[in-house]
Each structure stands twice: as C-alpha cells, then as structure tokens.
Amino acid sequence: MKPQELSQSYDAGRRDFVGVNLDYTNLEQINLEGANFTNASFRQANLQKANLQEANLTKANLEDADLRNSNLAKTTLNEAKLSGASLIQANLQEAILTNSNLEDTDLTKANLTKANLIGSNLHRTILQDAITHETKFKAPVEEKKAAEKPIEEQPQESAKIAEATPKRSTRKVNKEEDRSTQVRENKAEKEPEKPVEEQPQESAKIAEATLNKSKVKRIKKEDTSEKQVQNESDKPEENIDNQPENSQQSATKVKRETKNKDE
C-alpha cells in the first residue's frame, strides 16, 4: 500500500489495516490515530512526527524504522519488533510494549511515563535521559502470582489454605482414632465378647455347678460314713457268756503245765 492510498483510506473512515505492508515508505507527520495495524510491516519506514496515538501495532514489524518525535501515547505494541528503531524524543506515555523486542533501540529522551515494558528485550537499548516515571520493566513477585490465578479465585485460594490447616490436624486425630478402633476390632475378633443377655445365664450356670459339686462331696462323705458303720456291724460279736469259760480253760492249762514241769 502506498502512503497516499493509506491517507485517503484513513480519511474516508477506514481504521482496519491488519497485515498491510508499508516497508520503506515515507509516512512523515501522517495521522493514523486509533488505527489497527496488527501484523503490519513498517520496516525502515519514515514515521517522524507521525500520530499513532491509541493505535494497535500488536506484532507489527518496525525494525530500523524512524519514529523520532512520533506520538505513540497509549499505543499497543505487544510483541512488536522494534530492534534498531529510533524513538528519540518519542511520546510513549502509557504505551503497552509487553514482550516486545527493543534490542539496539534508541529511546534517548523518550517519554516512557507509566509505560509497560514487562517481558521486553532491552538488550543494548539506549535509555539516556529517558523519562521512566512509574514505568514497568519487571513484574513484581506479588503481581506475577496474582497474574497466574484469576482475581475471583484468589479469595477462594486463601480460604482453602486457611481450611487446610485444621483439616491436617483433624486428619491426624482421625488416623489415631482409626488405629485404636482397628486394634479394638482385632481384639474383638480374636476374643469375641458374649452378648449381654447371655452373661447372667452364664453366671447362673457357674453358681449351679458350684452347688452341685458341694452336694456331690457331701453325698460322698455320707456314703463313706455309712459304709464304715456297716462294716463295724458286720464283724462277729463275741458272746459275753463264753468269756468265763475261756478264762477257766486257760487257768487249767496253766496248772497242767506246772504239774508236768514238777514231775
């Protein structure tokens, strides 16, 4: 596209110039405010004093372009290629240049107030006398963490962390309780407890067995005593009347024996 055709189209109300090729063109002092030049190419183009305020130059190729004294305030230059470009005294207030390539770019006396250059390549970039008030070159650690998660999820995340601490302690208590209950269950399996209803019957059986043993012992004692009495009664009693006779017989025997000895 030629510079004259670009100017006529813009004046006619056209704002969409995505992917146009404007390499080596002379666009000095051209007014392209608010136009969309996504993926457009301006290699070695002359853009001195051009008005590109609030334009969209995302992924545009501006290598070795001349942008001295140009107005790029609030312009979007995400991932733009600006290596070797001249931006001396350019106005880049509140411009967005995240992840752009600014290697060997000259930003002498450029106004970078509140500009965002996070993730940009600033290798050998010239920033002499540049205004860098509230300029973002690196994302703070807190902002990086916040960018990783949506804002709506952040309060939920803090609530989850707060809930996780008591849950860990309750898990430990629950584990200990589970272990103790498991030990009790193992003991119960090895030695099954009798039902509560059977326990009184069991004690009654034990008492009855004790009584029966005592009765058996008593009966045995009575049987032995009766047998002893019966044995004594079965022995033949000597006749009292015969006792004198026995004594007389023994006396005669003694007399006979004495007589024999004398003779």
Taken in order of first residue, the domains within the chain and their CATH numbers are 1-151 (2.160.20.80)
Residue 237 predicted with pLDDT over 50: no
The C-alpha atoms of residue 216 and residue 259 are separated, in whole angstroms, by 66
Q: Full-prediction pTM beyond 0.85?
A: no
The contacts of residue 127 (CB under 8 Å, 6+ apart) are: 107, 108, 110, 112
What does the pLDDT look like over 81-108, one tens digit per residue? 999 999 999 999 999 999 999 999 999 9
The C-alpha atoms of residue 228 and residue 250 are separated, in whole angstroms, by 34
The contacts of residue 157 (CB under 8 Å, 6+ apart) are: 149
In this prediction, residue 239 carries a pLDDT of 46
The C-alpha atoms of residue 73 and residue 244 are separated, in whole angstroms, by 166
How crowded is residue 135: how many other Cβ atoms within 10 Å of its Cβ?
20
Q: Which letter does DSSP use for residue 242 in this model?
A: G
| β-bridge mates for residue 101, sequence order | 81, 121
In this prediction, residue 218 carries a pLDDT of 72
